[in-house]
Homo-oligomer: A and B are copies of this chain.
């Protein structure tokens, strides 16, 4: 793991998720450029001192010198955004699989470099779109894909938070880097959480957003990146929608939600009640799927992401752990069956990363433009044949 020292939010989430299912183990780290923090964090997780590194470069290089059976298998990148690509590049160069925080990069161009680098490389790559690890998000996708709500017309996705309502960046390390263009990229709120909303919309509907009409706002004096915004959008497949993301909805916790309506019904899901999926029907009472319920029509993808029977709530850490477990299984399988294809079944891929970066860039362009609709920025995600595997 690179990044995620004491005081970081997401590093700790990753560690719980890594450990929870017993498929992975944290074996080495460069958690912080602060040596004390680095030592403390690694001590807390019982990491062998020889494998605590003082920089990401030395970690990758150091691990490379270890015998194959002893070195790390997957590099987890939980640094601020601007380091994602440089670190991932070097990891790939040394043949380590990569599991990386989102957004993928600080620009689409930088993301494309990484995508290019991944091609023809026998390295697995995963992106931490945690929310796509929730079982009921898969059930939502399943209901849409199976035609339960008919042809999709309308997508309403939102991600309100309130934690940046005041000038947190003065005192909160998290807030500081997330509002700093050099570390975060061209967008604050849209890069941080707008990408989650965007990815959720595309994942559940399997539509691609094709046009965006956006506005971005900054609410705190001196803040340099958007902390709020919204967009109207259209999809290539003919639906329309609205995307809202904000970090200044004071008092709101973490309100990611999605609603999708077709000509026969709709589905509604809220991250803060992740075990619950509403299925609206035009000719019957609405019904409510619940995670963990056997025998009521949950798809295999949803059920396989549940650890306990219905009514025993699973949450955010379990959603992340679902990504890790699938990644871990793929790594194990890859040892014996290496292929050239960075994608892992069930784990957001470089494709998601590219789409996310194209989303950010389109939002920035649209917000800066006088004209109403902006075509979604082209990326290699549009043409990439993602399933092409070359058996090694």
A125 to B279, CA, bound (A): 43
Taking CB atoms, residues of chain B closer than 8 Å to A333 are: none
- Min distance, Cβ A266 to any Cβ of chain B, angstroms: 5
Q: Is the CB of A313 within 8 A of B313?
A: yes
Q: Which of A83-91, A92-100, A285-293, A344-352 contacts B (4 or more CB under 8 A)?
A: A285-293
Residues 251-305 of A at the B interface (beta carbon under 8 Å): 251-255, 259, 261-266, 271-275, 279-290, 292-293, 295-297
Q: Is the CB of A250 within 8 A of B262?
A: yes
Q: Is the CB of B252 within 8 A of A280?
A: yes
For the complex, is A217 an interface residue (Cβ under 8 Å from B)? yes
Taking CB atoms, residues of chain B closer than 8 Å to A295 are: 282-283
> Quick one: which of B19, B242, B290 contacts A230, CB cutoff 8 A?
B242
- Min distance, Cβ A19 to any Cβ of chain B, angstroms: 5
Taking CB atoms, residues of chain B closer than 8 Å to A273 are: 273, 313
Q: Which of A55-63, A74-82, A147-155, A200-208 contacts B (4 or more CB under 8 A)?
A: A147-155
A232 to B242, CA, bound (A): 9
Q: Mark A101-123, 1 if CB is under 8 A from B, else 0.
A: 00000000000000000000000
Count A-side interface residues using an 8 Å CB cutoff.
90
Total identical chains: 4
7 nearest CB pairs, A to B: A251-B280, A253-B311, A254-B311, A313-B315, A312-B316, A285-B287, A315-B315
27 A-B pairs, CB-CB below 8 angstroms?
A: A9-B309, A19-B20, A149-B250, A150-B250, A156-B158, A156-B160, A156-B244, A162-B266, A165-B263, A228-B240, A231-B232, A242-B244, A250-B264, A250-B265, A251-B280, A251-B281, A254-B310, A255-B311, A271-B313, A272-B275, A274-B313, A279-B285, A282-B295, A283-B296, A285-B296, A312-B315, A370-B372
A interface residues (Cβ-Cβ under 8 A, vs B): 9, 12-13, 15-16, 19-22, 26, 44-46, 149-150, 153-154, 156, 158, 160-163, 165-166, 213, 215, 217, 219, 228, 230-232, 240, 242, 244, 246, 248-255, 259, 261-266, 271-275, 279-290, 292-293, 295-297, 307-318, 369-372
Task: Apart from A251-B280, A253-B290, A284-B296, list 17 A-B contacts with CB within 8 A.
Answer: A12-B307, A16-B21, A16-B307, A156-B160, A161-B311, A162-B266, A162-B282, A213-B213, A249-B259, A250-B262, A250-B264, A252-B266, A252-B311, A253-B310, A272-B313, A313-B313, A315-B318
